């Protein structure tokens, strides 16, 4: 008994000692010059970079740890601390509340970000300004592409650096359906849903369900027939087309899974419904289509991705550095590593578990060995991917960021809660 | 006839208890097991191997065990005197004391957690192991006190008086008489505290602020990831320590329980 007590007391002391030691390892800010890359790398040496990113996909977590975590340690002596968040807005709120509390340095070094989260932080002047074009690998990024230099309509102004690209797609099971029977537009989808009651649902548009929001925006594009006008916010356009959107969703509602009384809240729930044959379609944004999901064991091996003939929204996603980041140099090194051709080639391969597209323009890669690697990788997307020509044909950009919350709130009010 | 139905009932009971574990075992080693397949069609050990090799899982396991052990020790330490007084003495304000000790079980943990978080933020304790352990004491203490006071209400202080008359020191009496007599009760109370602390998610999340990664936190994040194999593998790991501890102490308790009963 005494021994046990003595042991426990010792354990307490040890644990609290660990705690104190843990607090002391906070890296002190080291000076660097953003225009002198060697000084950035030198300042980053020995730092720990706290990378806040959506942690809902185990295969992405695994890819991040085993590829970037390893390379950072071995090449730059940087420790990667991947902080999984349920929704990127959690990381944004962390930075916002640090700002309110006047906490500098904070805890967040790098955030996987885009869209309204980027707009929020940029508007509040909480992001490190003008750095993305200073990264050595920034020369591989096509900054002239409006899909890259504007994020949901918000000018990027080099306050975030691209990582990868994604495009909205649907998934079907080739063991259950034939490609020629697939709907190829929102109008055809409506017919299909009415003929197959209970076999379709979509992700509820809202926080954590951005794929559902994107699905709704694609419908707006189809109803208006004009993509360009959605690039800047215009209340008149919204007032004209949003009633059509609510009508569309309310028309199919009685024919949805569970009569539209409830909706899957994120991609994983929809994959599960699809895998267990409760519904016949799922949704993905990965360039490898269903490939990474098959690897993860989330969907059957016969799952395949497809797109409508038009209005499949694609975009780039980025990483941003908060102004009060404790290890800015290490965050810069990591952002540069993300654009490295070696890792860009690795991220598209389905077996590595990430499965999103290139963030760089591979035509800008001059090293022939690297170029070959990237080209080979883009050939190996697997059978479960949508054919690249279909993707390219249907590709459209996202709307201005303001429509995001309008779609989400409107859907809730006029579709979910409508009688 | 009566015997037979008792046996059937017993088998049924065991079945209910074991079924979830069997399901976890099947899921943890199966690959792409979807409706309508009645049994897994493909097997894999990848996920379990990956989980066991993941430093996050092992550190989560040890942090959880460490926190739960410290919490049970501390709640016994704090709960012991309170339980003894409440269990064996009658005094004015006893009911009020009971009420105060039991409030944490009535007040929703979210309210307690939010309040504590604000307090701990000011004191600089949030995000620390110390803060999380303190917060876990809130839900564990009532159960420790309740269990121990039950033991003390049946406790005969005359044994202590006898030892005192025979010339023992207070300290010696505590270790050789008091502790020995209430030992089975201590184990049960400690076990309660361990299990309650072990399964805390909300308080750890609120006070730990995501910095203290315990096993339940990893489990919740796996559940939101939606991969049934990973969820099952982590669940097995989560269930294992309590089951082992209960199995080990149950045998021990039954023996002691008998000897105690023989004394009276």
Q: Do A300 and B128 lie within an 8 Å CB cutoff?
A: no
Residue B67: pLDDT over 70: yes
Measuring CA to CA, how many Å separate A75 from each of A43, A46, A63, B46?
A: 14, 11, 17, 28
pLDDT value at position B69? 96
B124 at interface of A, judged by CB pairs closer than 8 A: no
Chain B residue with CA closest to A294: the answer is B32
User: Minimal CA–CA distance to A151: which of A346, A407, A359, A310?
Assistant: A359
Residues on chain A bordering chain B, Cβ-to-Cβ distance under 8 angstroms: 1-2, 5, 8, 11-12, 15-16, 18-19, 23, 55-58, 62, 83-84, 86, 266, 268-269, 271-272, 275-278, 296-301
Question: Which residues of chain A neighbour B179 with C-beta distances below 8 Å?
Answer: 1
The third-level CATH classification (topology) of the domain covering B55-256 is MetI-like fold (1.10.3720)
For A58, the closest of B73, B179, B227 (CB atoms) is B227
> Which residues numbered 77-116 in B keep a CB inside 8 Å of some CB on A?
none
Q: What is the mean pLDDT of chain B?
A: 88
Q: Is residue A289 a contact partner of residue A305, using CB atoms and an 8 Å limit?
A: yes
Q: Do A275 and B69 lie within an 8 Å CB cutoff?
A: no
Q: Is residue A320 a contact partner of residue A127, using CB atoms and an 8 Å limit?
A: yes
Q: Do B73 and A5 lie within an 8 Å CB cutoff?
A: yes
Q: Do B225 and A62 lie within an 8 Å CB cutoff?
A: no
Give residue A186's Cα distance to chain centre.
24
Q: Do A275 and B32 lie within an 8 Å CB cutoff?
A: yes
pLDDT confidence tier of residue B252, bands split at 50, 70 and 90: low
Q: Do B34 and A15 lie within an 8 Å CB cutoff?
A: no
Residue given tokens 């009415």 in the structure block: A194
Q: Encode B34-57: b = buried (16+ Cβ within 10 Å), e = exposed.
A: beeeeebeeeeeebbeebeeeebb
Distance CA B244, CA B146 (A): 24
Please state, as a whole number, how many other Cβ atoms lie within 10 Å of the Cβ of residue A305: 28
Q: Do B227 and A298 lie within an 8 Å CB cutoff?
A: yes
Each domain of chain B, given as residue ranges in start order, spans: 1-44, 55-256
Q: Do B130 and A16 lie within an 8 Å CB cutoff?
A: yes
The whole-model pTM stands at 0.81
pLDDT digits (tens, 9 = 90+) for B203-248: 998 888 777 889 998 898 888 778 889 899 999 999 999 988 888 8
B128: helix, strand or coil: coil
DSSP letter for each residue of B42-79: EE--HHHHHHHH-HHHHHHHHHHHHHHHHHHHHHHHHH
B264 at interface of A, judged by CB pairs closer than 8 A: no
Q: Do A266 and B44 lie within an 8 Å CB cutoff?
A: no
B175 at interface of A, judged by CB pairs closer than 8 A: yes
pLDDT value at position A28? 46
Six-digit token pair at A62?
């695994």
Give residue A102's Cα distance to chain centre.
29
pLDDT value at position A4? 55
Q: What is the mean pLDDT of each run of 10 residues along chain A (419 residues)?
A: 54 48 46 94 95 85 93 96 85 87 88 93 96 96 91 93 96 96 97 97 89 96 94 94 97 96 92 95 94 90 96 96 96 97 94 92 93 92 91 92 92 92
Please state, as a whole number, how many other Cβ atoms lie within 10 Å of the Cβ of residue B2: 6
The neighbouring-strand residues paired with A111 are: A52, A320
The sign of the torsion formed by the CA atoms of A49, A55, A60, A63 equals positive
Distance CA A264, CA B96 (A): 48
Q: Do A15 and B36 lie within an 8 Å CB cutoff?
A: no
Six-digit token pair at A237?
């356009």
Q: Do A2 and B175 lie within an 8 Å CB cutoff?
A: yes
Question: Which residues of chain B neighbour A57 with C-beta distances below 8 Å?
Answer: 225
Chain B residue with CA closest to A82: the answer is B56
DSSP A416: I
Distance CA B85, CA B72 (A): 20
pLDDT value at position A30? 67
Q: Do A62 and B44 lie within an 8 Å CB cutoff?
A: no
Q: Do A1 and B179 lie within an 8 Å CB cutoff?
A: yes
Six-digit token pair at B221?
């994040």
B53 at interface of A, judged by CB pairs closer than 8 A: no
Q: Do A269 and B226 lie within an 8 Å CB cutoff?
A: yes
Distance CA B64, CA B62 (A): 5
Question: Which residues of chain A neighbour B130 with C-beta distances below 8 Å?
Answer: 16, 19
**Count of A-B CB contacts under 8 Å:** 64
pLDDT value at position A375? 92
Q: Residue A14: phi, psi to the nearest 5?
A: -60, -45
Distance CA A270, CA A262 (A): 12
Length of chain A: 419
pLDDT value at position A102? 83
Measuring CA to CA, how many Å separate B232 from each of A298, A373, B23, B201, B238?
A: 14, 37, 8, 18, 10
User: Minimal CA–CA distance to B229: which of B60, B59, B58, B46?
Assistant: B46
Distance from CA of B264 to the nearest CA of A (A): 25
Distance CA B219, CA B204 (A): 13
Q: Residue A200: phi, psi to the nearest 5?
A: -140, 145
B59 at interface of A, judged by CB pairs closer than 8 A: no
Six-digit token pair at A116?
């309204």
Q: Is residue A162 a contact partner of residue A364, using CB atoms and an 8 Å limit?
A: no
Distance CA B124, CA B120 (A): 6
Instruction: Give the alpha-carbon dihedral of A237, A240, A244, A247, to 10 degrees.
Output: 120
Question: Which residues of chain A neighbour B32 with C-beta distances below 8 Å?
Answer: 275, 297, 299-301
């Amino acid at each position: 008994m005494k021994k046990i007590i003595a042991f426990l007391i010792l354990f307490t002391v040890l644990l609290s000692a660990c705690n104190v030691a843990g607090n002391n390892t906070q890296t002190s800010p080291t000076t660097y010059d953003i225009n002198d890359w060697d000084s950035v790398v030198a300042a980053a040496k020995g730092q720990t970079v706290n990378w806040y990113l959506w942690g809902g996909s185990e295969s992405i977590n695994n890819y991040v740890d085993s590829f970037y975590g390893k390379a950072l340690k071995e090449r730059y002596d940087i420790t990667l601390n991947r902080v999984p968040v349920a929704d990127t807005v959690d990381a944004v709120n962390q930075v916002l509340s640090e700002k309110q509390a006047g906490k500098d340095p904070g805890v967040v070094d790098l955030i996987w970000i885009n869209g309204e989260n980027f707009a929020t932080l940029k508007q509040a002047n909480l992001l490190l300004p003008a750095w993305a074009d200073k990264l050595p690998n920034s020369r591989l990024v096509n900054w002239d592409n409006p899909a890259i230099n504007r994020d949901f309509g918000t000018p990027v102004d080099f306050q975030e650096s691209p990582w990868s690209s994604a495009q909205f797609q649907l998934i079907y099971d080739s063991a259950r359906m034939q490609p020629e029977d697939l709907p190829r537009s929102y109008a055809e989808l409506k017919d299909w849903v009415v003929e197959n009651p209970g076999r379709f649902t979509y992700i509820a548009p809202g926080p954590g369900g951005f794929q559902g929001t994107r699905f709704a925006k694609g419908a707006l594009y189809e109803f208006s027939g004009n993509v360009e006008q959605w690039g800047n916010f215009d209340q008149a356009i919204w007032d004209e087309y949003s009633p059509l959107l609510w009508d569309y969703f309310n028309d199919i509602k009685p024919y949805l899974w569970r009569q539209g009384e409830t909706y899957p809240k994120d991609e994983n729930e929809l994959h599960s419904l699809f895998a267990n044959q409760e519904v016949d379609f799922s949704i993905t944004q990965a360039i490898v289509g269903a490939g990474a999901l098959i690897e993860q064991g989330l969907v059957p091996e016969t799952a395949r991705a497809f797109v409508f003939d038009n209005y499949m929204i694609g975009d780039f996603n980025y990483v941003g550095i908060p102004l009060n980041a404790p290890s800015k140099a290490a965050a810069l090194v990591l952002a540069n590593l993300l654009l490295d051709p070696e890792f860009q080639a690795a991220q598209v391969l389905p077996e590595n578990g990430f499965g999103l597209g290139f963030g760089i323009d591979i035509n800008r890669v001059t090293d022939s060995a690297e170029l070959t690697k990237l080209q080979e990788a883009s050939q190996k997307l697997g059978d479960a991917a949508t054919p690249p020509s279909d993707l390219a044909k249907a590709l459209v950009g996202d709307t201005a960021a303001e429509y995001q919350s309008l779609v989400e709130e409107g859907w809730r009010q006029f579709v979910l809660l409508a009688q | 006839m009566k015997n037979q139905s008792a046996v059937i009932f017993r088998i049924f009971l065991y079945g209910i208890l074991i079924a979830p574990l069997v399901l976890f075992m099947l899921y943890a080693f199966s690959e792409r097991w979807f409706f309508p397949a009645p049994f897994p069609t493909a097997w894999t050990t990848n996920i379990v191997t990956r989980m066991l090799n993941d430093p996050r899982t092992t550190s989560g396991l040890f942090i959880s065990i460490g926190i739960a052990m410290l919490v049970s020790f501390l709640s016994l330490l704090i709960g012991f005197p309170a339980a003894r007084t409440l269990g064996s003495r009658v005094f004015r304000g006893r009911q009020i004391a009971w009420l105060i000790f039991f409030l944490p079980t009535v007040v929703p943990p979210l309210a307690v957690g939010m309040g504590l978080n604000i307090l701990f933020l000011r004191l600089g304790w949030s995000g620390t192991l110390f803060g999380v352990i303190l917060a876990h004491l809130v839900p564990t203490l009532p159960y420790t006190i309740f269990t121990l006071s039950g033991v003390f209400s049946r406790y005969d202080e005359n044994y202590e008086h006898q030892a005192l008359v025979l010339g023992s020191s207070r300290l010696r009496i505590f270790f050789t008489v008091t502790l020995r007599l209430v030992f089975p009760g201590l184990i049960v109370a400690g076990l309660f505290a361990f299990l309650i602390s072990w399964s805390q998610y909300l308080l750890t999340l609120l006070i730990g602020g995501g910095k203290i990664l315990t096993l339940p936190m990893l489990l919740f994040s796996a559940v939101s990831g939606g991969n049934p194999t990973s969820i099952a593998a982590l669940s097995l790991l989560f269930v294992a320590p309590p089951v082992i501890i209960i199995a080990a102490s149950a045998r021990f308790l039954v023996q002691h329980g008998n000897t105690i009963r023989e004394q009276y």
